[in-house]
Amino acid sequence: MALEVRPVMPADVPAVVAMVHELAEFERAPDQCQLTEDQLHEALFNPQPALFGHVACRDGEPVGFTLWFLNFSTWRGVHGIYLEDLYVRPSARGTGAGRALLAELARICAERGYERMDWWVLHWNPAREFYHAVNAVAMDEWVPYRLTGQALYALAAVSAALPAPTCDRPVQSQVGGMPQ
């Protein structure tokens, strides 16, 4: 039963989507998870992806995954990895799959000169013990904020009502770090 960690391939998408839904169930929010196979496939495999992923496979079968994207530290002046999700199926917990997934992302950081990896974890999640065991530090002095739903659209309406910029060069929007 060899463990392999590799980038997500198109054939892995159904298993990863199923595990995302398992994660939502574990995090007590199954009704909030709306991810479809088409959405994940498009996010991972479009010509300029902004989302990346890895799977941990045992005997060729995905038993865990990570989904991540690049962030940027304005203070350090370099990219880092934001780990959106790390999940290992209950049957594979304690086998090293989670450590191998996290180690692969750490390897990518080191190889590319990224100086940090960030993620959030629910305060009650027992995985916090694992994160402490690899010397990850809880950033409890930072308060996460989120803007979504009607509040997001109300704020967007403020911008839409503003006059067009009057600068000498055209303004480019940024999607996934790529000018559009």
pLDDT tens digits, one per residue of 89-124:
999 999 999 999 999 999 999 999 999 999 999 999
Assigned domain for 20 exists: yes
pTM (2 decimals)?
0.84
pLDDT of residue 168: 56
**Residue 27 neighbours by CB under 8 Å, 6+ apart:** 122, 125
Range of the domain at 81: 3-145
Number of domains in the chain: 1
Q: What is the pLDDT of residues 43-63, one digit of tens each?
A: 999 999 999 999 999 999 999
Angle between helices 37-45 and 13-26 (to 10 degrees): 120
Q: Does 7 fall in a domain?
A: yes
**Considering the domain boundaries, does residue 118 fall inside one?**
yes
DSSP string, 69-91: EEEEETTTTEEEEEEEEEEE-GG
For residue 169, tell me if it sits in a domain: no
> 59-88: per-residue pLDDT in tens?
999 999 999 999 999 999 999 999 999 999
Query: Is 40 among the domain residues?
Result: yes
The answer to the question of residue 150 being in a domain is no
Give the CATH number, domain containing residue 56. Answer: 3.40.630.30
> Is residue 170 one of the residues assigned to a domain?
no
pLDDT at 138 over 70: yes
Assigned domain for 151 exists: no
User: What secondary structure, in 3-state letters, does 1-31 show?
Assistant: CCEEEEECCHHHHHHHHHHHHHHHHHCCCHH
